[in-house]
């Protein structure tokens, strides 16, 4: 039976420092070397994602931005994308203008990803400009009409403006807005926007057909992993996962800071 193991990153595979521990890295390298099929399904964008997994020889496509893109790292191209519709795109631009905030954006053209950070001096600009895995372009998003918007990210040191954007945009059924306080940085609030059609469920189904997998096992911790679990044949919530996710999981494993995913995968080694 052809099997695939697929894990979320933040709160699941990554530790409290937003990195893969040496032990987890060692285990994952070993299972891949043995021919066990392994990949990731993350809500993260390509901004800084590849540097996090740079020591992992991922051979399979990865799910990015909660399914907005399925990306082939080896060939550096998108196999599938789910763009934000033009009406919602315009609504995002109209709303950000009311707050005087500008975001970071991931776009696609001809199966290639590109990133834009506008010239306004935002927390986002300060955080990501020099540490991105993508070539970030100083530009206005409106000038990129020939490209397709997959993802928008806004960051601010206080919550008020992002709360306004969230309250305005959350009623648009064509997009998903995730508004939260960053767990890795102090005084940092974030708003992420993707198409409502972009889900880990649909992305896992794509990979199931792409790789002809008969059985898929998933690992996760949060709300965006509910659809991942629903697409898998077997699913495991880390000990620090939400109670809602644990309720639909096959079982609960050790927490992310205890290398729960790697501990589970280590049992597959011969």
Token reading at 196: 């409502």
Q: How many separate domains does the chain show?
A: 2
Whole-number pLDDT of residue 138: 47
Q: Taking the model in full, what pTM does it have?
A: 0.89
Strand ranges (DSSP E) for the chain? 3-7, 37-40, 62-64, 69-72, 77-81, 104-109, 112-117, 136-138, 148-156, 175-181, 189-195, 215-220, 234-238, 251-253
- Each residue's pLDDT, cut to its tens digit, for the chain (270 residues) gives 999 999 999 999 999 998 999 999 999 999 999 999 999 999 988 877 888 998 999 999 999 999 999 999 888 899 999 999 999 989 998 998 899 888 888 888 888 887 765 555 465 555 655 555 565 554 555 555 556 889 998 888 889 999 999 999 999 999 999 999 987 778 889 999 999 999 999 999 999 999 999 999 999 999 999 999 999 999 999 999 999 999 999 999 999 999 999 999 999 997
165 and 138 fall within a common domain: yes
Last residue of a domain, one of 195, 217, 251: 195
> What domain range is 186 assigned to?
86-195
Strand ranges (DSSP E) for 31-188? 37-40, 62-64, 69-72, 77-81, 104-109, 112-117, 136-138, 148-156, 175-181
CATH number of the domain where residue 152 is located: 3.30.1240.10
Last residue of a domain, one of 195, 212, 240: 195
Whole-number pLDDT of residue 64: 95
Whole-number pLDDT of residue 12: 98
CATH number of the domain where residue 226 is located: 3.40.50.1000
Beta-bridge partners for 217: 5, 234
Pairing of strands 175-181, 77-81: unpaired
Strand order in the sheet with 3-7: 37-40, 3-7, 215-220, 234-238, 251-253
Residue 232: closest CA among 246, 215, 220: 215
Match 């800084």 to its residue by tokens. 48
In angstroms, the CA 77 to CA 79 distance is 6
């Amino acid at each position: 039976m052809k099997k695939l193991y697929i894990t979320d990153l933040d709160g699941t595979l990554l530790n409290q420092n937003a990195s893969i521990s040496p032990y987890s890295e060692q285990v994952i390298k070993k299972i891949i070397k043995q021919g066990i099929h392994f990949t990731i399904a993350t809500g993260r964008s390509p901004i800084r994602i590849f540097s996090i997994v740079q020591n992992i020889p991922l051979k399979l496509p990865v799910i990015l931005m909660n399914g907005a893109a399925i990306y082939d790292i080896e060939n550096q191209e998108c196999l599938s994308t789910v763009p934000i519709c033009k009406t919602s795109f315009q609504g995002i631009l109209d709303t950000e203008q009311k707050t005087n905030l500008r975001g970071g954006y991931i776009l696609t053209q001809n199966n290639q990803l590109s990133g834009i950070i506008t010239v306004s001096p935002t927390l986002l600009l300060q955080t990501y400009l020099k540490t991105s895995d993508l070539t970030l372009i100083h530009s206005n998003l409106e000038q990129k009409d020939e490209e397709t918007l997959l993802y928008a990210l806004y960051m601010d040191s206080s919550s008020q403006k992002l709360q306004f954007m969230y309250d305005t945009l959350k009623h648009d059924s064509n997009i998903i807005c995730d508004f939260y306080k960053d767990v890795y940085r102090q005084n940092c609030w974030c708003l992420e926007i993707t198409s409502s059609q972009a889900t880990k469920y649909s992305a896992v189904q794509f990979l199931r057909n792409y790789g002809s997998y008969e059985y898929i096992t998933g690992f996760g911790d949060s709300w965006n992993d509910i659809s991942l679990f629903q697409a898998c044949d077997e699913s495991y919530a880390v000990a620090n996962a939400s109670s809602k996710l644990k309720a639909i999981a096959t079982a609960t494993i050790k927490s992310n800071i205890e290398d729960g995913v790697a501990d589970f995968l280590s049992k597959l080694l011969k």
